[in-house]
Structure 1
Amino acid sequence: MRVSLRSLVAALAVAMAVFVAAPAFAQQPASVNPTAASVKEQQLMQALQAGTPGQGTTLSGRITIPDAGAGNLIQPQGQAWRAFHQGTMHWIGAIAILGMLAALTLFYLVRGRIMIEAGRSGASILRFSTFERFIHWLTAGCFIILALSGLNVTFGKFILAPIVGEGAFAALSQWAKYAHNYLAWPFMLGLVFMFVTWVIHNIPDGTDIVWFKKGGGLVGGEHPPAKKFNAGQKLIFWSVIVGGGLLSLSGVYMLFPASAGGVLALQFWNIVHGVVAVLLIAAMIAHIYIGSIGMEGAADAMTSGEVDLNWAKEHHSLWVEEKLARGAVHPHAAGQPAE
């Protein structure tokens, strides 16, 4: 009897509790939005701007893990970097690359192809050895793939994605990223080989001033004297060495971000990488033009390695004289008239 009475009292207590709590449960919404009361980005930015000047460059929260950087909620420099990467960088790339293409098209329409004025002699002279051509194509081949995969990062989602679709673009971009990361290493190796092999021929001297004064023979009828590399080729060489060096250094920091020295340094090297890349791409477009359709006989130098003697005498007369003095060219062949 006493047990039954206790059970009855307990049941009544539970019923009373449910009755009292029912209105509170009834006031709860059917669904809860967990982010309704969350802080918006604009509020964080306003809080950052309202802070005391000089008291730091980030808006940070409290954390309990050892990595103090994990507490940074907003870094204003990141906002500036994003604006540059998604805005200014597009304009720099478009102006540099499209501007170069437009300039070369206009030059071709006005000047036409640069022909061998004396015509082909039928005699040839070795210009680049097998090893020299190997390091050229090693570096050039890697650079082309690096350039295309890098441009995809900046312009791909605007140009390529609408054409091939999001799925194909994602797969292509993933493979392009692998190619970019791994081909960077043979590209850097090629830069080292190029520097060691050709630096002695690319030291500026007095003949370069004369070459520039005469427009390199591109805008006049007279070809200025030049050694193995003329002033224009020296400019390309140092652009590749300096520009390629900056791309290599910044690229290594981007591959191994922990070595960059912090987020701000990494953002700096990211900007350097992008700007130098598009400028070097524009320069290489001009180099490819002159070495192919822009000038008769120029492509032979990096294909067979041998160039027509008349071509060499017109564009690199001092180099031909040096070869003659060393007996590398038969005097009769060097002096034979063009038919």
Structure 2
Amino acid sequence: MLAALFFAAPMAGAQEPVNPTARSVQEQQLLEALQGGNAISGRVSIPDQRAADLIKPEGRNWSGTHNSTVYWTTTAVVLGMLALLTVFYFVRGRIRLEHGFAGRTIKRFNSFERFAHWLTAVCFILLALTGLNLIFGRYVLIPLFGADTFATATQLGKVVHNYIAWPFMLGIAIMLVVWIKDNIPGRIDLDWIKAGGGMLKGGGHPPAKRFNAGQKIIFWSVVLGGAALSFTGVLLLFPQLAGEPGNWQLAQLAHAIIAAVMTAVILAHIYIGTLGMEGAFDAMGSGQVDVNWAREHHSLWVAERDTAVEGEPRGHVAPAE
């Protein structure tokens, strides 16, 4: 009898298995609790009781906005600019010098100015790529390279983004100090804008000083947009400075949308400075531009230099290397 009871007990227990998760909270129960407008909280022993919140209704709203509004806004702005530049290239073609290269150059930017430009440019490209990965990475990298590669790239990108932000801020500050005097808007800029900068059709470029209206738009977009990105970025790095979680969420949304607009602006700037305009890259490459290029695009600036160096060779030019 004892032997029979010994073997029968496990068999009886096996007929009624115990489900260890039967009384656990299911996701649907959490969603139903959130519909009442209350946060789902636990208990913490640290002074900041906000850390006890597991899920908050406004947190889900923010997540939905990030995955919908920010995603589609970034898609429309960035891809829209790429499409516009592609159409512009095939319709207008490359903007070439009307009188060809003169074979003599004139200094446009010194070494320090080019350092400030490339410091800011390289940092922005890294920031843009790592930021865009957070929005599009899961839809692009995971299908192509797998989830593990995406996770590694995103973790590395987070570190790069956090540290590259500081030299980017430095570059913005240097450019503001060095170039603000040449980027004050004036009446001549209105004439340049009315003429479309001479880029929509042939017939010459309107007169411009060291920076034309288009370059001034780029400058102020970078300075003001960079300042906004810096401010919101610091709040994201140090969320305690933002105060309430809602402030942090607002900073994140502003950061993402401003970054998308700046990315579109910089794409246009890169296009004009490389493929779009003949001779433009030399300004930030070697710092020397062809004399004919300078006179066609910045005739008033060349005239000012001629006056400043009166008695020296016209335009203070040197043979092209």
Q: Deviations over 1:257-301 (max 9, x none)?
A: 222212111111111111111111111110000000100010000
Q: Deviations over 1:92-150 (max 9, x none)?
A: 11111111111111101010000011111112111000000001001101111111111
C-alpha distance in structure 1 between counterparts of 2:104 and 2:172, whole Å = 32
- Matches for 1:64-103 after TM superposition, within 5 Å: 65=45, 66-103=47-84
Once the two structures are TM-superposed, the CA of residue 26 in structure 1 deviates from its matched residue by 5.4
Contact 1:58 1:73 in 2 (8 A): no
The one-letter code sitting in structure 1 at the alignment partner of 2:64 is: A
Q: Deviations over 1:143-190 (max 9, x none)?
A: 111111111111111101221222222222222222111111111110
Q: CA distance change for structure 1 residues 95 and 26 in 2, over 3 Å: closer, same or farther?
A: same
Q: Does 1:236 align with 2:228?
A: no
C-alpha distance in structure 2 between counterparts of 1:120 and 1:79, whole Å = 59
1:194 alignment counterpart: 175
C-alpha distance in structure 1 between counterparts of 2:310 and 2:55, whole Å = 67
1:59 alignment counterpart: 39
Once the two structures are TM-superposed, the CA of residue 48 in structure 1 deviates from its matched residue by 4.6
C-alpha distance in structure 1 between counterparts of 2:192 and 2:311, whole Å = 25
Q: CA distance change for structure 1 residues 334 and 197 in 2, over 3 Å: closer, same or farther?
A: closer
Q: 1:205 aligns with which of 161, 172, 186?
A: 186
- Matches for 1:152-231 after TM superposition, within 5 Å: 152-220=133-201, 221-231=203-213
Secondary structure of 2:274's counterpart equals coil
Question: Which range moves more in the overlay, 284-293 or 214-223?
Answer: 214-223
Contact 1:58 1:72 in 2 (8 A): no
Q: TM-score, normalised by structure 2?
A: 0.88
Question: Which range moves more in the overlay, 38-47 or 274-283?
Answer: 38-47
C-alpha distance in structure 1 between counterparts of 2:89 and 2:314, whole Å = 36
Contact 1:61 1:72 in 2 (8 A): yes
Larger radius of gyration: 1
1:4 alignment counterpart: none
Secondary structure of 1:113's counterpart equals coil
C-alpha distance in structure 2 between counterparts of 1:253 and 1:151, whole Å = 19
Contact 1:58 1:74 in 2 (8 A): no
Q: 1:260 aligns with which of 222, 227, 242?
A: 242
Once the two structures are TM-superposed, the CA of residue 332 in structure 1 deviates from its matched residue by 4.2
Q: Deviations over 1:176-208 (max 9, x none)?
A: 222111111111110100000001111111011
The one-letter code sitting in structure 2 at the alignment partner of 1:30 is: P
Once the two structures are TM-superposed, the CA of residue 209 in structure 1 deviates from its matched residue by 0.5
1:150 alignment counterpart: 131
Q: Does 1:313 align with 2:295?
A: yes
Q: Deviations over 1:34-54 (max 9, x none)?
A: 3x334444444444544xxxx
Q: 1:37 aligns with which of 5, 9, 23?
A: 23
CA RMSD in angstroms comes to 2.5
Q: CA distance change for structure 1 residues 300 and 83 in 2, over 3 Å: closer, same or farther?
A: same
Identical-residue share of aligned pairs (%): 50
The one-letter code sitting in structure 1 at the alignment partner of 2:20 is: N
1:277 alignment counterpart: 259
C-alpha distance in structure 2 between counterparts of 1:119 and 1:61, whole Å = 71
C-alpha distance in structure 2 between counterparts of 1:292 and 1:30, whole Å = 71
1:3 alignment counterpart: none
1:126 alignment counterpart: 107
Secondary structure of 1:292's counterpart equals helix
Q: CA distance change for structure 1 residues 98 and 226 in 2, over 3 Å: closer, same or farther?
A: same
Q: CA distance change for structure 1 residues 331 and 190 in 2, over 3 Å: closer, same or farther?
A: same
- Matches for 1:1-16 after TM superposition, within 5 Å: none
Question: Which range moves more in the overlay, 199-208 or 170-179?
Answer: 170-179
The one-letter code sitting in structure 2 at the alignment partner of 1:32 is: N
2:116 alignment counterpart: 135
Q: TM-score, normalised by structure 1?
A: 0.84
Q: Deviations over 1:283-323 (max 9, x none)?
A: 11100000001000100000110111111111111111111
Secondary structure of 1:160's counterpart equals helix
C-alpha distance in structure 2 between counterparts of 1:178 and 1:304, whole Å = 32
1:322 alignment counterpart: 304
Contact 2:42 2:52 in 1 (8 A): yes
Contact 1:188 1:248 in 2 (8 A): yes
C-alpha distance in structure 1 between counterparts of 2:183 and 2:245, whole Å = 38
- Matches for 1:325-336 after TM superposition, within 5 Å: 325-327=307-309, 330-332=312-314
